Amino acid sequence: MNAGKIRQILLITDGCSNQGEDPIAMAALANEQGITVNVIGVMEHDVIDEKGMTEIEGIALSGGGVSQIVYAKQLSQTVQMVTRKAMNQTIQGVVNRELQQILGRSQSMEDLPPEKRGEVMEVVDELGETVELEVLILVDTSASMKHKLPTVKEALLDLSLSLNARTGGNQFSVYAFPGKRNDVEKLLDWTPNLQSLTSIFSKLTTGGITPTGPALRTALSSFSEKRNVRSLLSDDDESFFEESV
Amino acid sequence: MMMNHSLKSRYKVQPGTVITGKWHNNHYTILKELGYGANGVVYLVKYGSRHAALKMSDNSMSITSEVNVLKSFAKVQGTSLGPSLLDMDDWQTGGDGSKVSFYVMEYIQGPDLLSFLQQKGKSWMPVVFLQLLNDLAQIHENGWVFGDLKPENLIVTGPPPAVRCIDVGGTTIQGRAIKEFTEFYDRGYWGLGSRKAKPSYDLFACAMIMINTAYPNRFAKQQIGGIAQLKAAVRQRQELLPYEKVILRALEGQYLSAKQMRDDLLQIVTRQDRADRPKTSGGSGGGKGSPQSPLNSRKQQQKQPSAQSHPSSRKAYRKHKKKSRWKEYLIIAAVLGGLYGWYIFMKIL
């Protein structure tokens, strides 16, 4: 079975976008390219307003991902659960497509009798353990996020701990928005480990605007750039991974 | 946790509701909610005349995956790892075809581990942990790691009291990444190891539950964090001190199997017994005429060192005794010899 690679964008924010393209449209664009967009809304003492909530749910919905609003305290646990849940959803989607091909009808895993479902689940579990995962993390660094950033850093380190316990490989990349000069700033290029994040996060400055849409667009181009560079450098490597999965 | 509000309200099933399975057509009457976790709600249900626990979730995958674990546990002969599985099915909630997956399992009744220890007292602590380690050893032998090990997932049933693990949502095949965990009991959170499913992952959680018995409200990671904070926590509680060695070894991942940890715990418990007994019997038997053997042996033990500290006097005493014996012998021999000589002399005359 070929699940290829799983590509995700994880957006961590605490409110509504106020500049640039519509983030919901950008999320839909990502979904069209096989990239899932997950959103985590972080609260502390402040509450996220109605408008922000609608946007967070909208981004995840059109991005084919999962959204969750949490208090900063629960961020670590949530980040890893959201990532995992979205990963399983993607795998389940792939498995369902395979099932439809085999069974010829509009069958999904849920339509199988419970006894058969168990065997399919074992395949889903196996894939979740071994599939290659690419997560691009977009961190909102608007002014209101300032005191939540240490918690975000902890949560991201925790995420890399969780995902690196899997057999399959992981690649992470971290972007912050707004950046110092542009809408978005790359903090960390694709790497299997997020440890180096510790030093970068302490230097982060926060700004006023929240250009969520442009940030998502940049994140998308980062995925395609990566694919291009990868295919130029190591064509064999890539195909090997895809086959083994 | 991951429970958002819409999910919680949607599966608030009222008591009295009858749930009918789509595939197997069994009927279950909801009696009350037993609890909810990250992946669903558990209800107490009645079917026929029996009680059972029913777990439902909108996430059909997690239900299926838990059923897989329970099925695998059921294959292990002669043991009761986790609740036994009774049924798995889908419930058609409305006319629109929306459905919820659920499974039905044995209802395990009793207080959770911490409440049990609070009710029954600390003397039960080693007992429940020895039992738990036994269960863990079996789970590990069958290729699993329990994962989300915490007091809420441990029920003490009885009588006789026996620990049972009830929530297999975090149970993971060894070597894979742990599916579900709770921060306080997770070694990754404390920076003391990976989240790969290994026996030592469960043993860490087991040690954290031991610490939890002395800190019912748990505690958060401090700035120092890691082993230093946990070490300090153990040392601050009198009741944890006897188990310090076992707890620390488990926290540091030094035990490769549950059996090793169990052996160490057992050793501590039996040694503690031996150390305790003279003290308690000395206290209760302080009055006259209590010829308890431990007390006597203790007296003897006390005597021995004092005798050993004066070896010369004892030797002298023995020597003295030997000498007087010889004197006795010579006197008797001389008297008899004299009498015999006297007798011969008279005969000759």
* Residues of chain B positioned with their CB less than 8 A from the CB of A169: none
B67 — pLDDT class (breaks 50, 70, 90):
very high
Calpha distance A16→A211 (Å, rounded): 9
Q: Does position B284 have pLDDT exceeding 70, yes or no?
A: no
CA atoms within 13 A on the CB side of A16: 10
Indicate whether B296 pLDDT > 50: no
Q: Is residue B343 part of a domain?
A: no
Check which CATH number belongs to the domain holding B210 and give it.
1.10.510.10
Interchain contact B189–A (C-beta under 8 A): yes
Boundary residue ending a domain (B106, B136, B162): B106
- pLDDT above 90: residue B185: yes
B60, A164: Cβ pair inside 8 Å?
no
**B23 and chain A in contact, CB less than 8 A:** yes
Instruction: Give the number of A-B residue pairs with CB atoms closer than 8 Å.
Output: 73
Structure-model confidence comparison of residues B291 and A38, the more confident one: A38
* The token pair that represents B125 in the structure block: 């602590």
Question: Does A206 reach chain B within 8 Å, measured CB to CB?
Answer: no
Instruction: Based on the fold, state whether residues B156 and B268 are members of the same structural domain.
Output: yes
Name the token pair of A75: 């961020």
- Per-residue pLDDT, averaged over A60-75, amounts to 89
Q: Is B58 on the interface with A (CB under 8 A)?
A: no
Whether residue B138 is contained in a domain is answered as yes
- Looking at residue B248, its amino acid is L
Would an 8 Å CB–CB cutoff place A69 in contact with chain B?
yes
Query: Domain boundary residue among B54, B85, B106?
Result: B106
For residue B53, give its domain range: 5-106
The tokens for A30 are 């990502």
Kindly state whether residues B59 and B21 are assigned to the same domain.
yes
pLDDT in tens, B237-248: 999 999 999 999
Query: Residue A204 has what pLDDT?
Result: 80
Mean pLDDT within A205-213: 83
Yes or no, beta carbons of A122 and B183 under 8 Å apart? no
Q: How confident is the model at residue B274 (pLDDT cuts 50, 70, 90)?
A: low
Highest mean pLDDT among B88-97, B172-181, B273-282, B300-309: B172-181
Indicate yes or no: CB of B23 within 8 angstroms of CB of A165.
no
**Number of domains observed in the structure of chain A:** 1
**B152 and B253 both lie in a single domain:** yes
pLDDT score of B308: 44
Predicted confidence (pLDDT) at residue A9 exceeds the cutoff of 90: yes
Q: Are residues B117 and B259 in the same domain?
A: yes
Q: Which of residues 74-93 of A touch B (CB under 8 A)?
A: 74, 76-78, 81, 84-85, 88, 92
Which CATH number goes with the domain that contains A217? 3.40.50.410
- Same domain assignment for residues B65 and B165: no
pLDDT of residue A77: 85
List of chain B residues whose C-beta atoms are within 8 Å of the C-beta of residue A68: 2, 4
Q: What percent of chain A has pLDDT over 70?
A: 89
Cβ pair A109:B60 closer than 8 A: yes
User: What is the predicted pLDDT for the residue at A244?
Assistant: 42
Cβ-nearest to B64 among A118, A166, A167: A118
- A180 Cα to chain B: minimum distance (Å): 30
Contact status of A109 with chain B (Cβ, < 8 Å): yes
Q: Please tell me whether residues B136 and B23 are part of one structural domain.
A: no
Residue A167, domain extent: 5-244
Measured between beta carbons, the chain B residues lying within 8 angstroms of A84 are 179
For residues B314 and B134, which has the higher predicted lDDT (pLDDT)?
A: B134
pLDDT band at B224 (very low <50, low <70, confident <90, very high): confident
State residue A202's pLDDT score: 76
B65 with B121, same domain: the answer is no
Mean pLDDT value of segment B243-262: 94
| Helix then strand then coil, % of chain B, to nearest 5 | 50, 20, 30
The closest CB to that of B65, out of A114, A125, A164, belongs to: A125
Q: Is the same domain home to B154 and B248? A: yes
Whether B67 and B163 map to the same domain: the answer is no
Residue that terminates a domain, selected from B74, B106, B138: B106
Q: Is the pLDDT of residue B13 over 80?
A: yes
Res B3: pLDDT: 38
When mean pLDDT is compared across A3-7, B24-28, B77-81, the lowest value belongs to B77-81
What was the ipTM of the complex prediction? 0.80
Q: How far is CA A219 from CA A83, A135, A174, B19, B134, in A?
A: 17, 10, 9, 46, 50
CA–CA distance, B200 with B278 (Å, rounded to integer): 36
Residues B131 and B256 reside in one and the same domain: yes
Q: How far is B63 from chain A (nearest CA, A)?
A: 9
Residues of chain A found within 8 Å of residue B2, distances taken between Cβ atoms: 68, 77-78, 81, 85
Q: In this model, does residue B312 exceed pLDDT 80?
A: no
Q: What is the mean pLDDT of chain B?
A: 82
Closest by CA to A146, choosing from A211, A75, A202, is A202
Closest-CA residue of chain A to B87: A114
- Across the range A75-93, mean pLDDT stands at 87
**Partner residue opposite A165 with nearest CB, options B38, B178, B183:** B178
What is the b/e burial string over A135-153, where b = at least 16 CB atoms within 10 angstroms of the residue's CB? bbbbbbbbebbeebbebbb
The answer to the question of residue B331 being in a domain is: no
- A111 in B contact zone (CB under 8 Å): no
* Cβ pair A78:B38 closer than 8 A: no
pLDDT(B52) > 90: yes
- Mean pLDDT calculated for residue range A123-144: 89
Give chain A positions within 8 Å (CB) of B197.
165
> Do B149 and B50 fall within a single domain?
no
Q: Check residue A241 and give its pLDDT.
A: 44
In a domain, B328, yes or no: no
Instruction: Classify residue B212: in a domain, yes or no.
Output: yes
Tell me what the mean pLDDT of segment A116-128 comes to. 87
| Among chain A residues, CA nearest to B89 | A114
- pLDDT at position A119 is 86
Residue reference for tokens 């600390």: B122
Residue B294 in domain: no
- Pairwise CA distance, residues B108 & B138, whole Å: 19
Q: Considering the domain boundaries, does residue B185 fall inside one? A: yes
Q: Reduced to 3 states, what is the DSSP secondary structure of residue B54?
A: strand
Candidates B55, B60, B187, partner chain A, best to mutate (most A CBs within 10 A): B60
> Which segments of chain A are extended strands (E)?
5-13, 35-43, 64-71, 132-140, 170-177, 185-191
- pLDDT for B214: 93
Question: Is residue A72's pLDDT more than 50?
Answer: yes
pLDDT tens digits for B15-41? 888 999 888 989 999 999 998 877 789
The residues of B annotated with a catalytic role in the active site are 148
Over residues B42-52, mean pLDDT: 92
Contacts of B176 in chain A (CB under 8 A): 125, 129, 165-167
CA closest to A155 among chain B residues: B189
Domain-embedded: residue B304: no
pLDDT at B320: 67
Residue A112 touches partner B, C-beta closer than 8 Å: no
Residue A46 has pLDDT above 70, yes or no: no
A136, A176 Cβ separation under 8 angstroms = no
Domain count, chain B: 2
The pLDDT score that the predictor gives to residue B277 is 58
Higher pLDDT, B42 or B9: B42
Same domain, B98 and B118: no
Does any CB of chain A come closer than 8 Å to the CB of residue B61?
A: yes
